Amino acid sequence: MKITSHTVLVVDQSTSMNESDVHGHRSRSRAAYYAIANEIIADPLLMGRVSFTDVVTVIEMRTYAEITIHMEPVSWTLFNKIVDLANNIKSGKGHGNYIPALEKAFSTLLSTNVNDCAQLLLFLSDGRPSDHY
């Protein structure tokens, strides 16, 4: 499959993301994932601006960084996977260490290995980094 774009989303999942101070959502985490599902996946799909050649990777940032979705083509299946992440109650744990998340994000983008592939990195966090080095 030829990849035309790769979007890497780093989503803060530290303990503070469990706070329930976003109108219409049980937590900051849920609000972030629903914003991704609706604005980055659903709206472009409905407008015909993306296709299966556009892929998305989701990295959750805690004390460590974990890839939860890897190079998944943009589709309604991806939309549902992101909604599933949103519905993971109290998923925030630990500190929000930026450095491991950024290292994983950059290595993921470099692994795309396609010269004419558009790349985008979005970092969603509610605060400053916990790591201080």
CA distances from 118 to 53, 61, 66, 112 (A): 11, 23, 23, 10
For residue 52, being part of any structural domain is answered with yes
For residue 131, being part of any structural domain is answered with no
Domain range enclosing 65: 5-124
Q: Is the pLDDT of residue 90 over 60?
A: no
Angle between helices 76-86 and 28-35 (to 10 degrees): 170
Average pLDDT, the chain: 87
Residue 27 has a pLDDT of 79
CA distances from 101 to 89, 93, 105 (A): 22, 15, 6
CA atoms within 13 A on the CB side of 66: 11
| Residues sharing a CB contact under 8 Å with residue 23, sequence separation 6 or more, in sequence order | none
For residue 130, being part of any structural domain is answered with no
| Residues sharing a CB contact under 8 Å with residue 80, sequence separation 6 or more, in sequence order | none
For residue 133, being part of any structural domain is answered with no
For residue 55, being part of any structural domain is answered with yes
**Number of compact structural domains in the chain:** 1
Mind listing the pLDDT tens digit for each residue in 8-59?
A: 999 988 877 777 776 777 678 888 899 999 999 999 999 999 999 999 999 9
Number of residues that make up the chain: 133
- CATH number at 61 reads 3.40.50.410
For residue 31, being part of any structural domain is answered with yes
In this prediction, residue 129 has a pLDDT band, given cuts at 50, 70 and 90, of: low
pTM, rounded to two decimals? 0.88
Residues above pLDDT 70, as percent of the chain = 88
Q: How far apart are CA 133 and CA 71, in angstroms?
A: 30
Q: Is the pLDDT of residue 89 over 70?
A: no
In this prediction, residue 128 has a pLDDT band, given cuts at 50, 70 and 90, of: low
